[in-house]
Amino acid sequence: MPMDHLSTTFATLADPTRRAILARLALGEATVNELAAPFAMSLPAVSKHLKVLEHAGLITRGREAQWRPCRLEAGPLKDVSGWLEHYRRFWDDSFDRMAVYLNEIQTKGDPDGRKN
Amino acid sequence: MPMDHLSTTFATLADPTRRAILARLALGEATVNELAAPFAMSLPAVSKHLKVLEHAGLITRGREAQWRPCRLEAGPLKDVSGWLEHYRRFWDDSFDRMAVYLNEIQTKGDPDGRKN
DNA sequence: ACTATATTTAACTTAGAGGTTAATTAACTT
DNA sequence: AAGTTAATTAACCTCTAAGTTAAATATAGT
């Protein structure tokens, strides 16, 4: 029952409708109706998807009159990226150079120079 | 009903048991019993997880006597990584430098020099 | 042949995801 | 105040995921 953060994120991303919504939001804020337009599905269904996305921390919602503009929040995606890094060496043959570069920008180039 | 590749991958990764199995397999091949050992769950349950992982293309299974050694397959993870790249700019403030570097190794450093 | 080990299959249960339609809430417009 | 538009909530249905136990299959060893 208590779902960990990463599991929630992956489960949320497992639905193509929700990924399409994120893709739309990557272009900028949008209202529920705007987000629902491309889909052959009822508005409540989309509303539910948005609730799932919000619960996963992948979007936030504002209030402007009767509209609830949605905005992409990429924090959980960063976590996914971090998780993926543990496996990058299994597919990326230029992993070594990548690792070198990452280390480089994290110790020198990155403004706050964190290691993690 | 027909689940797309990426949805299948995300759904498969949404279970912490399966992610733990992948983490174990990152250390090398393992049998079903070895993989099941850390979990407080029946062997058939683990067997089902392995089937899900196999169906998602995240593992392959060999045959050695009565054992079915499992091996990590990272192809689908690469696809996830590719999908994530579309969103990297939303969280990575060093995205620009990263993009420059990626472009660099893809056009010069990468052995087969592919663009994609 | 018999037994032990490794793994899968079968049959079943439970809980939750994802969809529906109808009703409700909220805010703006006239 | 009445109506319109935006979005959510409620009640419901169906399907599937994830687990269980018990039985079946496959291979090895004696």
Q: How far apart are CA B10 and CA B73, in angstroms?
A: 15
Q: How far apart are CA A56 and CA A77, in angstroms?
A: 10
Type of residue numbered A37 = A
Predicted local distance difference test score (pLDDT) of residue A93: 73
β-bridge pairing B59-61 and B70-72: antiparallel
CATH number at residue A61: 1.10.10.10
| Residue B116 maps to a domain | no
Host domain of residue B11? 5-74
Mean pLDDT check: name the lowest of A53-67, A68-82, B98-112.
B98-112
Burial class (CB in 10 A: 0-12, 13-18, 19+), B106: middle
Whole-number distance in Å between A47 CA and D21 C1': 40
Q: How confident is the model at residue B21 (pLDDT cuts 50, 70, 90)?
A: very high
Residue B75 has pLDDT above 70, yes or no: yes
Q: CB pairs below 8 Å between A and B: how many?
A: 88
Predicted local distance difference test score (pLDDT) of residue B110: 46
Question: CB-based contact (8 Å) between B81 and chain A?
Answer: yes
| Residue B23 maps to a domain | yes
Whole-number distance in Å between B68 CA and C17 C1': 33
| Residue B97 maps to a domain | no
| Residue B31 maps to a domain | yes
pLDDT digits (tens, 9 = 90+) for A46-66: 999 999 999 999 999 999 988
User: Does B43 contact strand C, using a CB cutoff of 7 Å?
Assistant: yes
Q: Please state, rounded to an integer, the average pLDDT across all residues of chain A.
A: 88
Predicted local distance difference test score (pLDDT) of residue B50: 98
Structure tokens, B78: 């690469």
Q: How confident is the model at residue A107 (pLDDT cuts 50, 70, 90)?
A: low
| Residue A115 maps to a domain | no
Q: How confident is the model at residue B43 (pLDDT cuts 50, 70, 90)?
A: very high
**Residue whose entry in the numeric block shows the structure tokens 């663009």:** B115
User: Does A55 contact strand D, using a CB cutoff of 7 Å?
Assistant: no
CA-closest candidate to residue A55, choices A19, A14, A5, A16: A5
The torsion of the CA quartet B24, B28, B32, B36, rounded to 10 degrees, works out to -20
How many structural domains are present in chain A? 1
Compute the average pLDDT of residues A74-87.
96
Predicted local distance difference test score (pLDDT) of residue B3: 87
Query: What's the whole-model pTM score?
Result: 0.85
Structure tokens, A92: 């990326």
pLDDT over 70 for what percent of chain A?
80
Exposed e or buried b per residue across A40-55, where buried means at least 16 C-beta atoms within 10 angstroms of its C-beta? eeeeeebeebbebbbe
What DSSP assignment string belongs to B32-96?
HHHHHTTSSS-HHHHHHHHHHHHHTTSEEE--BTTB--EEE--HHHHHHHHHHHTTGGGT-TTHH
Residue A114 has pLDDT above 50, yes or no: no
Compute the average pLDDT of residues A86-111.
70
Predicted local distance difference test score (pLDDT) of residue A3: 87
Q: Please state, rounded to an integer, the average pLDDT across all residues of chain B.
A: 88
B35/B109: higher pLDDT = B35
Q: Which nucleotides of D are covered by protein (CB under 7 A)?
A: 5-11, 16-23, 26-28
